[in-house]
Structure 1
Amino acid sequence: MSFPRFLDIEYCQTDDAIFPTAMAWSLADGRMKTVVITPEDAWIPEDGDTGDVDLLYLEEQGVPLLELARELHEDLPDQTVYVDGMDPDELLVDLIFSAIRQEAPFEIAPVSELIDGLDSGDLEDRRHQIMIEEGLEPHIPENGVYALLLLAREEGYLED
């Protein structure tokens, strides 16, 4: 059985910049992968202000964009990947792949296109409720993917 694929991206956003800092996605068997992302120099504001984001941590622990792209090409080729629709995920994916002059190997769609029995507001409310019930931090990408997997299971799109 192949599960729907989900993706969530954590990002830095300031007055002068927006860029991805971490990403999680689910695989066909329901497992997840997560990475910290090494930022491109061009993404960093000239004044160096990245808010609460620890650039040294990202540079030391992050995955280079080419390596990230290779994994995404292996894991999500020609897939529709569902996102919560609350974050600028499409823009962030475009930033990643344009930085390495490649096309994304997948299409992004809001989870409301998969789960059409609830409107987008009800879906977001339920996703948020699942995160609270499960004690999940909303700013951790694997938690966002896990909540979407639980929501899809609850709505009958996954088997236990």
Structure 2
Amino acid sequence: MSIPRFLDIEYCQTDDALFPVAMAWSLADGQMKTVVIAPEEAWLPDDGDLGDFDLRYLEEQGVPLLELVQELHQDLPDQTVYVDGIDPDEILIDLIFSAVSQDAPFEIAPISELFTGIDSDTLEDRRRQLMFDEGLEPQLPENGVYALLMLAQEEGLLADL
């Protein structure tokens, strides 16, 4: 059985900007990758206000977009990648790939397309409850992916993690 792939993106959103700052995704074997993303200059707000995010940290610790895109091409070619459906994930993926003039090698779909027997409100409640029960911080993308993997496990879509 093929393990569904999941993705979650943490992002900065201000009055003047919306851009990804970290991303996590799952692999075919259920493992996960997580990266901090070095922002493109064009994404940054003119006033320099990034709210809770430290630009210096993002620039020093972040993976350059070309490197990130290459990794995503390696890890998720021709896949349907499921997202929680509550973040602007498609916009953020478009930002990443258009910054390097490429198309995403995968298609994004909400988890409601994977878990067809459950309505989206119930799915979101279960995802939040799993995060709470496991003591996971919701703003960390690796925790979002982990919660989706646990949900898939509960639904019998993958073997024990």
Report what 1:126 is aligned to: 126
Report what 2:106 is aligned to: 106
TM-score by length of 2: 0.98
Report what 2:86 is aligned to: 86
In 2, the alpha carbon distance for the partners of 1:96 and 1:73 equals 12
Long gaps (5+) in structure 2: none
* Cα deviation, residue 159, structure 1: 1.3
In 1, the alpha carbon distance for the partners of 2:148 and 2:135 equals 14
Structure 1 residue ranges, 4+ long, deviating more than 4 angstroms after superposition = none
- The DSSP-based 3-state class of the residue aligned with 1:136 is coil
Report what 2:46 is aligned to: 46
Aligned residue pairs total 160
Report what 1:143 is aligned to: 143
In 2, the alpha carbon distance for the partners of 1:118 and 1:130 equals 16
Q: CA RMSD for the aligned pairs?
A: 0.5
TM-score by length of 1: 0.99
Report what 1:152 is aligned to: 152
Q: Percent identity?
A: 77
Q: In the TM superposition, what are the counterparts of 1:27-66 in structure 2 within 5 Å?
A: 27-66=27-66
Q: Structure 1, residues 116-145: CA drift from partner, whole Å, max 9, x if none?
A: 111000000000000000000000000000
Q: Structure 1, residues 36-81: CA drift from partner, whole Å, max 9, x if none?
A: 0000000001110111110000000000000000000000000000
- The DSSP-based 3-state class of the residue aligned with 1:25 is strand
* Cα deviation, residue 34, structure 1: 0.3
In 2, the alpha carbon distance for the partners of 1:43 and 1:53 equals 14
In 1, the alpha carbon distance for the partners of 2:125 and 2:158 equals 20
Long gaps (5+) in structure 1: none
